[in-house]
């Protein structure tokens, strides 16, 4: 029997993300998915959260030197904060276009870098804030509310 997510207190998770570490790629989003399932969140919320977290995680692994993913889970919402030290995004509007990618050919040959990361995050989030400074890094704040859409 699933527990009501409203019965739980706030929970925080934090993950370190490393450049080009494809061995550990997806671990943070997988752990988040498992935690949300154990807490009894609706499958649709779990699916959206897992996709958004995975895309953000992969963006750090593919494009940045390093980064962190911090997650706050409350009965009302899920907040995913991803910060990286990397090249930053020079044109956020362009980066939000499906198919736009700055991934190298080597990354594309691995099957990544199709330019769907940020659009998929936006599609799964109730709110997405992006702050980026070219040459310094990027910060994503992803909010997913725990209510029926």
CA distance 8 to 36: 11
Q: What is the pLDDT of residues 65-110, one digit of tens each?
A: 999 999 999 999 999 999 999 999 999 999 999 999 999 999 998 8
Q: What CA–CA distances, in Å, run from 43 to 7, 20, 27, 48, 142? A: 17, 30, 19, 9, 18
CA distance 69 to 25: 13
Domain of residue 118: give its range: 5-145
**Cα-Cα-Cα-Cα dihedral sign, residues 89, 132, 58, 25:** positive
The position carrying tokens 């990544």 is 112
Rounded to 5 degrees, what angle do the CA atoms 96, 66, 70 make?
Answer: 75
* Domain tally, the chain: 1
- Domain with 123 in it: what CATH number? 3.30.565.10
Q: What is the pLDDT of residues 15-70, one digit of tens each?
A: 999 999 999 999 999 999 999 999 999 999 999 999 999 999 999 999 999 999 99
């Amino acid at each position: 029997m699933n527990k009501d997510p409203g019965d739980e207190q706030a929970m925080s998770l934090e993950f370190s993300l490393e450049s080009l570490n494809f061995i550990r790629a997806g671990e943070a989003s997988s752990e988040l998915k498992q935690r949300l399932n154990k807490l009894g969140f609706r499958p649709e919320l779990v699916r959206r959260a897992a996709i958004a977290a995975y895309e953000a995680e992969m963006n750090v692994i593919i494009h940045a030197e390093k980064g962190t993913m911090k997650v706050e889970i409350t009965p009302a919402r899920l907040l995913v904060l991803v910060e990286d030290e990397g090249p930053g995004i020079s044109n956020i509007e362009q980066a939000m276009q499906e198919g736009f990618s700055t991934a190298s050919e080597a990354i594309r040959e691995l099957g990544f870098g199709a330019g769907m990361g940020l659009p998929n995050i936006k599609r799964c989030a109730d709110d997405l804030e992006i702050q980026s400074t070219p040459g310094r890094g990027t910060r994503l704040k992803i909010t997913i509310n725990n209510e029926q859409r």
